[in-house]
Homo-oligomer: A and B are copies of this chain.
Amino acid sequence: MAHYQVICLSCQAVQDEAAMTSPAVGCTRCGGPLGFHYDYQDVRWDGRFGRTMWRYWRLLPVPDPTQLVTLGEGGTPLLPSRMLTGARVYLKDETRNPTGSHKDRPLSVAINHARRMGATASFVVSTGSTGISNAALAACAGLKSVVLMTQGTPAARVYPMYALGSQVVEVEGAIDDLIEQVIQLCRRHGLYLSSTSRASNPYQAEGNKTIAYELVEELGRAPDWVVVPVGGGGTLAGLLRGFQDLQRLGHVERLPRLVGVVPRDYNALEVAFQRGLTRWEEVLALPYHDCPPSILVKLAHSYPPDGMEALEAVRACGGWFLSVTDEEALAAQEACGRQEGLYVEPSTGAALAGAARLLQGGEVRPEETVVVLVSGSGFRENFVTMERRPLEKRTTTVQKLETVLLAMA
């Protein structure tokens, strides 16, 4: 018997996983969003998978762990922070995943499911980390990868997907139309969609739970706070479900408070939280149709697809949302390079700036533990950072080298 069941999150109806034609389908009874129930009676971590996220397969939707394909996702370091002070602050360094971001976790769950379903290709809509993860993990599994994006995405951002064997398709038109169309087409034609929203694929959403499992293993307890950059909302929501699993298993006493960080110009969740909005229609009525440019492209969702889940998660654990500007994010990214030795993407800079604000706010006690999710590597966004803060270098001659070296020592 499988250690999990696919269920409808609305009507709780158990779904027939074997009859599922695409991960983008809803409940066969009510059309609601899908999720999972696990057997909590027999959960133990599996040492055969080393430090990777797959040692947690008993709380992931994989029936047979011996059939897994993996590049070794997860098992990322937890590093003490130097730049953030005022509490015990740690950085969960997700740049150490196979393609340099935490998205490798959800995509690994998706691709393994795709393979099990007999899919020949994995589709995603993405201009960023998800597209790169899809390309890498599909290649490793022997599947085709197709990444769809709107026109005008910089070639340097897209190139790694291509280098990893993905087909790259630019689609004329608005991003929201594209996302909706792709969900409908994948549903209709039984194509495998691996985009990281629950409506696209509920399997991938489970991968984010493993970050919580690792944090508790590394700390020996739950942290008191976790600061998370929020784009679509699925990472934050998945983190909370991970901690809830551990609470249910008796591994942690109480949930950490999750603080979601969003871009200032895309702060619908912050406003929704502050106003106490409880229905998604109310969030959709907030005025975020402008889409101003932001360096935080990976977080810049007007109406985050998993926003309602993220809102509920933050409320369930006593957390909140806060927003930061591009400038704050870039300053924090720079400080992280200089003080921590980690070259992170601007979105991670947003989380670090948010954590600094949290630590200055007086809510966190000095003996408490704060974890900041370092979501992705700056090496993949090198061209973006270079544009905003050009290289300063010094030029000298071999003859003058002695003076220069002594001045710099």
Contacts and interface: CB of A to CB of B under 8 A. Distances in A.
Interface of A: 50-52, 71-72, 75, 77, 79, 82, 93, 95-96, 98-100, 120-121, 123, 135-142, 144, 146, 148, 151, 155-156, 158-160, 162-165, 167-173, 177-178, 181-182, 185-186, 189, 191, 334, 337-343, 377-380, 382-383, 385-386, 391-398, 401-402, 404-406, 408-409
A391 B161 CA distance: 10
A395 B51 contact: no
Given A341-B164, A343-B164, A378-B163, A395 B72 contact: no
Given A160-B379, A163-B378, A191-B409, 4 more contacts: A140-B340, A163-B385, A168-B391, A170-B396
Nearest to A393: B168
Contacts of A402: 185, 189
A122 B374 CA distance: 26
A340 B163 contact: no
B51 A398 contact: no
Contacts of A394: 167-170
A408 B167 contact: yes
B341 A408 contact: no
A165 B392 CA distance: 11
Contacts of A170: 393-396
A382 B99 CA distance: 13
A169 B72 contact: no
A141 B40 CA distance: 43
Copies of this subunit: 2
A167 B386 CA distance: 15
A341 B378 contact: no
A95 to B, nearest CB: 8
B341 A121 contact: no
B137 A396 contact: no
B386 A156 contact: yes
Contacts of A379: 99-100, 160, 377, 379-380
A373 to B, nearest CB: 16
A162 B96 contact: no
A367 B123 CA distance: 38
Given A160-B343, A408-B121, A409-B189, A169 B393 contact: yes
B136 A343 contact: yes
A237 B240 CA distance: 47
Given A98-B341, A100-B379, A409-B121, A172 B72 contact: no
A346 to B, nearest CB: 11
Contacts of A146: 405, 408
B341 A158 contact: no
A236 to B, nearest CB: 24
A334 to B, nearest CB: 7
A405 B185 contact: yes
A172 B398 CA distance: 7
Contact of A165 (B137, B338, B383): B338
B51 A343 contact: no
Nearest to A167: B408
A160 B408 CA distance: 19
